[in-house]
Structure 1
Amino acid sequence: MKILAFCLIFVISTHLNAATITYLYVDGSGNRFLIIGDSRKTIKYVPVSAEQSSSGTYSGGEAVVKIINEREYSTLMDYYKKAMGNKKIRIPNRIKGSGYISTQSATDSQQKGYILNGSASEKKELEAYLFFLIGRVQ
């Protein structure tokens, strides 16, 4: 999972060249949110398909690419930093319902990421705001 996430971030960051920092969040169902922190502040939602899901039937819906404004980005970063910074909600292994959060700078090859407890309020708040930003209610 970490290798796939790193490769995906590297490809997108390399492709965009202007990206200063890339954030990745993977929800409890495996849907991915890429937040590109360049001048356009872009969110890319990459949903799980039914074929990729553990049930074989769940689908995360349609992919979304959205540019957000500075206020939305600032609020998103508040949620992101709160979830990323709370060591108490980190768990050692990815399990169903848990989240995965990481950060990668375009100038640094090191990816910093953590698995978040599925019941953590910080995880739930971040997820809810991400889905709100792309126009979906969970």
Structure 2
Amino acid sequence: MNLDHLLPKTPKPPKAVIYSYIDGSGNAYYITKDLIQYDPMTAKHSSSGFYDGGKAAKVVLSSKQFETIEVIIQQVRQNDSDHILNRVKGSGQVRLHNENECFILGYNTTSKKDLEVIFKKMITT
């Protein structure tokens, strides 16, 4: 029996994703060389039934903006003191698609905060 109709209808990530990040609330950021796509959690699918991550966004990135993302992701990757082993509520998950690597950032860590500041700034400009 196919139960796919019960799954949430979420936007598909863009093709050629290089990095993705799922924040502590389930909001997703997908990054390609020239695009950042934000797919927010909706109240319907949030654990509380109330949280809403806002409006979805797709923003074209300049090469300088993409370079900024690459630098911060490499810093976060190297700062393994902020990494945790298991995904828990409030943690953030970073995926490096081309390298088939994934790591989890602990709740309230500097790496998680720095990454989210950059992403939020880029989707609101």
TM-score (norm: length of structure 2): 0.83
Q: CA deviation at 1:76?
A: 1.5
5+ long unaligned stretches in structure 1 = 1-7
Q: 2:117 aligns with which of 111, 119, 128?
A: 128
- Following TM superposition, where does structure 1 have runs of at least 4 consecutive aligned residues deviating by more than 4 angstroms? none
Alignment partner of 1:87 is 2:83: no
5+ long unaligned stretches in structure 2 = 1-9
Q: 1:103 aligns with which of 82, 85, 96?
A: 96
Say what the alpha-carbon RMSD is for the aligned residues: 2.0
CA distance in 2, matches of 1:91, 1:69: 32
TM-score (norm: length of structure 1): 0.76
The AA in structure 1 aligned to 2:18 is: T
Q: CA deviation at 1:55?
A: 0.8
Identity %: 32
Partner residue in 2 for 1:71: 64
| Aligned-partner SS, 2:45 | coil
Alignment partner of 1:61 is 2:50: no
Q: 2:19 aligns with which of 1, 18, 23?
A: 23
